[in-house]
Amino acid sequence: MTVIDTIAEAEAKALNDKLAGLDLAGRLSLVAGLGGRVVFTTSLGIEDQVISAEIGTHRLPIDIATLETGRLFAETLALIDETEAQYDIHIQRFTPEKADIDAYAAKYGLNGFYESVEARHACCGVRKLKPLARALEGATIWITGLRRGQSANRAETPFAEYDAERHLVKVNPLADWDIEAIKAFVSDNGVPVNPLHARGYPSIGCEPCTRAIKPGEPERAGRWWWEQDETRECGLHVAEEASVVAAQ
C-alpha cells in the first residue's frame, strides 16, 4: 500500500465514524457534499430503490448508474423507467461491449457460466466488472446498497472504506439496515420495487443466474445457486475475485 493509499484509508475510517451517527438522508447529504464525482450504482433491488428514492427526493448531486448486462429480467428493465419517472432522475445504463460478449461466447458458449466457476467469473467480468469500471471513471466516491444482513460474506460491511483497487472511497449507507427496515421505508414512502421480490426473489441479478429462494434460505441463496460456495459473489464487491477476472 502506498503512502497515498494509507492516508486515504485513514480518511475513509474517519468518514465511517461520522456516517454511523446519521440517518440515511444525512449520510447521503454528507457524502454528496464532500466534493468530487459521487456515483451510486443501482441494481434496482429493494435496497437500491431506497437510496434512489432519497437521492431523487432530496435532489442530491449524485450520479446514478446501472449495469445493463443484457441478461436482466424484463421486470428490472421496466423498473428503471418507472424509477426515473417517479423521481425525475436519470439512471445511466452501462452495457457490455459486443466484442467482449462474442469472445466470451466463442470460448465458453453463451451460457457457459453454468459449467465452471471460472466461466461464471469471466461472464461477470464481461457483463459487470468492465461496465462498472466505465461507470466509475473519474469518481471519488462510490455508493452501494450493501447491507450486513444480506449474506455472511457481507456481515462486516462498514459505512465507508477505501477501495485501493479503484482508488476511491466506497460508501454503504444502508450497512446497518435490516430487511424489515427496508420494507417499512418502501411501504411508508411509496417506493417502486421489482415485482419479483413478492415472488420469492429477495436478491435479483441476471435472469439466468437468479432463482427464487426456499423458506429459510439466506437472502442471496438464489444467486448462482448451482455453485456450492456460500460466499459466492460476482466480483463487484470482492477485490480478490475482481483480480481473478481481470487476470483472465
For the annotated catalytic residues, the residue numbers are: 234
Going by C-alpha positions, the residue among 173, 214, 187, 236 that lies closest to residue 26 is 173
Q: What are phi and psi of 176, to 5 degrees?
A: -100, 10
Q: What are phi and psi of 143, to 5 degrees?
A: -100, 135
Whole-angstrom CA distances from 30 to 51, 124, 172 are 14, 32, 13
Gap between the Cα atoms of 19 and 34, Å rounded: 13
- Using CB atoms within 10 Å of the CB of residue 21, give its burial: 0 to 12 exposed, 13 to 18 middle, 19+ buried: exposed
Residue 97, amino acid: E
